[in-house]
Structure 1
Amino acid sequence: MMTSLPPWRRALLAAALCLVSPWALGAPTPALVPGGIARLSIAPASEARPTVRFGDAPVLVLRDGAQWTAWIGLPLDLAPGKHSVAVNRQGKTSALSLTLKDKAYPVQHLRLKNRRMVEPDPADLRRIKAEAATQNEVKTLFRDTDTVQLDFVTPVPGRRSSAFGLRRTFNGQPRAPHRGLDIAAGKGTPIVAPAAGVVTHVGDFFFNGNTVFIDHGQGLISMFCHLDSVAIAAGTPVAQGKTVGTVGQTGRATGPHLHWSVFLNGTPVDPALFLP
């Protein structure tokens, strides 16, 4: 695993995240958007690794050249304006700020034949509530590691069929925004781990179908949904490129595809930001 990226990857990521590099130490992040990532230099690497919190959640912090850098996931429902980031350096806590701009994500209209996937019955709703609690617990895990692999590979070959952040309607009814990236691929196509990590949960969920969670470290987590088959068990370490399952159409899906979500400090961010 890698504690920092090669120069060419840092340049690509900086461009993708619409960030300016290098930043002055402690300077506020340039304006960002909900669903994006703030990459904030917070301390010289000569110090012990600082701890950072955004809201109630711990934040990923890695050595990046001569500085410690925080990677902060920005929730899709975060209001435009200034927001505070708490930084603890050598026992002293201070606040830095970042500024969000609004972003209007496109609308996507989908039609489903299975009406229960649009209007669940009472038993379905009880199941959905229990599953939401499980998923929330898994996606907010923070496994403190010194290294986190950030140079992701695409987990499955195919067309990116639905982008992150789309405002969705199902059968004309508004639903939550799309909190992942959909990649269309044939049923049975192998899905691989985009980066090294540990499988933290495998389950069959009402909306997500067969699902695998991979913890990459420090709150960076991948979730794969709608799998046809699962080839890995919870608690298993995985290397980048390891097969974890195959593409399917389980749960709420209009066709075979991989839904891939990436979480940072408990919030979904655009997976495409981690890809070449």
Structure 2
Amino acid sequence: MPLTHHFLSRRLALQTALCALASPFAAQAAGPELWPRDARVPGGVARLSLGPAAQRPKVLAGGLPVLVTGDMIEWTAVVGIPLSAAVGQHHVQVDAGQGPQSLEYTVRDKRYAQQQLKVSPKTVDLSPEDLARHERERAHQQQVMALFTATASDDLRMRVPVPGRRSSSFGLRRVFNGQSRNPHSGMDIAAATGTPVVAPLPGKVVDVGDYFFNGGTVWLDHGAGLLSMYCHLSRVDAKLGDVLATGQSFAAVGATGRVTGPHLHWGVMLNQTMVDPALFLKD
């Protein structure tokens, strides 16, 4: 047997034996080299070790497919946790070829700050026409968010899509003109109109639109349910179906849609769940 095959076989046998002594699955500790970082809070990410398997396990969270990275020696489920998730025990269903099993993990509490914003009244109290438009756009974007394509890259560390100050963080409880609305589901980066926006990872352009709340918008598909969204754009240079490399410019910052000034709203989605983009960044 070649040396590399001999080493691989011994390593696989050792990991299999260790898994047999414990439970079928074990929680994977976060480390500085792992992206996204493990943060088991509402709006965070749970990195769950699945152990060794000959083929990529299939994982479901709430019936939705989950991104799985790794190889036959060590697979990892990268699970997006909804902002609405309750504190306590949660689980995913894992099928590694021997039938589905339940893998539990614990979500701990996190308190997000509140932000008061003043915007045009017509973007808070919608007219019947604007409400109908928003509902059409929401239905379309739900189809985009449901995409689950080819396997994602194992390297999920992202590049910041635009330089600038983070003017509004993920999870902020937002109050528009005194009216409470959904928490902020992305990261806002303040930048001048026209500043280039670049792809944080290789991805395919799967949606380009001009939406009531989000203004000029682009969605990128990075594979296996990992998508990213860019809103309030002044210009879009890419078209539907374009495949972008990391760092490739595809749009420009603007102040379109419901905004208080020019900035980029950047959202990241896993298993149809918006999660904190900061978990994919080094800093």
TM-score normalised by length of structure 1: 0.88
Residue 66 of structure 1 deviates from its aligned partner by: 3.4
CA distance in 1, matches of 2:166, 2:72: 33
> Deviations for 1:136-169, whole angstroms, at most 9, x for unmatched residues?
1111210022635412100000000000000000
Question: Identity rate of aligned residues, in percent?
Answer: 51
CA distance in 2, matches of 1:253, 1:148: 35
CA distance in 1, matches of 2:139, 2:36: 36
CA distance in 2, matches of 1:134, 1:156: 26
* Superposition map of 1:53-92 within 5 A: 53-63=60-70, 66-92=73-99
* Superposition map of 1:9-158 within 5 A: 11-13=32-34, 16-18=37-39, 32-44=40-52, 46-63=53-70, 66-112=73-119, 114-145=120-151, 147-158=153-164
CA distance in 2, matches of 1:59, 1:198: 19
**Partner of residue 246 from structure 1, selected from 245, 248, 252:** 252
SS in 2 for 1:85: strand
Q: Over the residues paired in the alignment, what is the CA RMSD in angstroms?
A: 1.7
Judge conservation of contact 1:149–1:216 (CA < 8 Å) in 2: no
Larger Rg: 2
Greater alpha carbon shift after TM alignment, 140-149 vs 177-186: 140-149
**Which position in structure 2 is the counterpart of 1:209?**
215
Unaligned residue ranges in structure 2 (runs of 5+):
1-29
CA distance in 2, matches of 1:79, 1:164: 18
SS in 2 for 1:179: coil
> Structure 1 77/100 Cα, relative in aligned 2: closer, same or farther at 3 Å?
same
**Which position in structure 1 is the counterpart of 2:275?**
269
Unaligned residue ranges in structure 1 (runs of 5+):
1-8, 19-31
- Number of aligned residues: 253
> Structure 1 77/209 Cα, relative in aligned 2: closer, same or farther at 3 Å?
same
**Which position in structure 2 is the counterpart of 1:164?**
170
SS in 1 for 2:50: strand
> Structure 1 181/129 Cα, relative in aligned 2: closer, same or farther at 3 Å?
same
